[in-house]
Amino acid sequence: MDSPLTRSAVRDGLGVGLAVGLSGLAFGAAAVAAGLGVAQACVLSLVAFSGASQFALIGVVAGGGNMIAGAVGAVLLGGRNGLYGLRLAETLRVRGWRRLLTAHLVIDETTAVATAQPGPRPARAGFWATAISLFTVWNLATLLGALGAARLGSPETYGLDVVGPAAFLALLWPRLTAGRTERRVAALAAVVAVAATPLLPAGVPVMLSAVAALAGIVGRRSGAEPDDRGETESVTASLPPMTVSEEDP
């Protein structure tokens, strides 16, 4: 029988999946506004399934860059999901070919719900509830948003050309308030992008800023000041521990 902790984790996952998945409407509209077709927008959501990376890609395309430049930037931005996978591997206990499917579903939201649970079993329940609901709602919303934007005609006429940048900023903003390290890294990436934009083709400044952000993160982690280490430790201590509970076999 499911425990109250497991049921609570499932409720949390379904709530996050529904709320975040609906933002797929904005992505579908922004993708069409950037010049993608309805089918292309839907395939991108199915294959990439990482909101920030998807918005980054269509942002490059909308700015005049090509798909290759946009894809490289999206991959760099989505690299954090690999770190999430390392964090969740022991908890999810997935083996064989299922690991490939599970890796596709390891994103910000599924990781957040899983790591917020008090034990492995509710963590797994929360992960899968979030993953299944979010994947379903996100892709359906992408289709609806893309179809709606395609029927409206010219995106600029209705102001849809700003949907992509606005939605991406909305996804980014909460991360900028997390701490000093995040703000410094964001500032470094912004300076690089602004300086490179007049000199390089569209899409290249985004890739350079992503590399600069990664370099900034690595530098801060390897040479953190005492205050930053204390800040990191306090944030880590505030996260619910992923320990084995009595209900876990």
30 domain-assigned: yes
Please give the pLDDT value at position 78.
Answer: 77
In one-letter notation, the amino acid at residue 156 is E
In the predicted structure, residue 224 carries a pLDDT above the cut 60: no
246 domain-assigned: no
In the predicted structure, residue 162 carries a pLDDT above the cut 60: no
In the predicted structure, residue 129 carries a pLDDT above the cut 90: yes
Domain interval for residue 210: 177-239
List C-alpha distances in Å: 36 to 42, 57, 140.
10, 11, 17
In the predicted structure, residue 160 carries a pLDDT above the cut 60: no
Please give the pLDDT value at position 190.
Answer: 74
Q: Kindly state the average pLDDT of the residues 143-153.
A: 82
For the stretch 12-53, pLDDT in tens is 999 988 888 888 888 898 888 888 899 999 999 999 898 878
Number of domains in the chain: 2
User: 222: pLDDT confidence band, cut at 50, 70 and 90?
Assistant: low
Q: Which carries the bigger pLDDT value, residue 220 or residue 80?
A: 80
In the predicted structure, residue 216 carries a pLDDT above the cut 60: no
Task: Provide the sign of the torsion angle of the four alpha carbons 9, 15, 18, 23, taken in this order.
Answer: negative
Q: Are residues 40 and 140 in the same domain?
A: yes
Q: Which of 63, 64, 24, 62 is nearest to 44 (CA)?
A: 24
For the stretch 54-86, pLDDT in tens is 887 887 777 776 777 777 777 777 777 888 888
Q: Are residues 17 and 110 in the same domain?
A: yes
In one-letter notation, the amino acid at residue 115 is T
Q: Are residues 17 and 48 in the same domain?
A: yes
Please give the pLDDT value at position 35.
Answer: 85
Angle at 70 between CA 150 and CA 181, to 5 degrees: 115
Please give the pLDDT value at position 249.
Answer: 43
198 domain-assigned: yes
Q: Are residues 62 and 182 in the same domain?
A: no
Q: Are residues 155 and 210 in the same domain?
A: no
247 domain-assigned: no
CA distance 55 to 99: 26
User: 140: pLDDT confidence band, cut at 50, 70 and 90?
Assistant: very high
In the predicted structure, residue 156 carries a pLDDT above the cut 80: no
User: 103: pLDDT confidence band, cut at 50, 70 and 90?
Assistant: very high
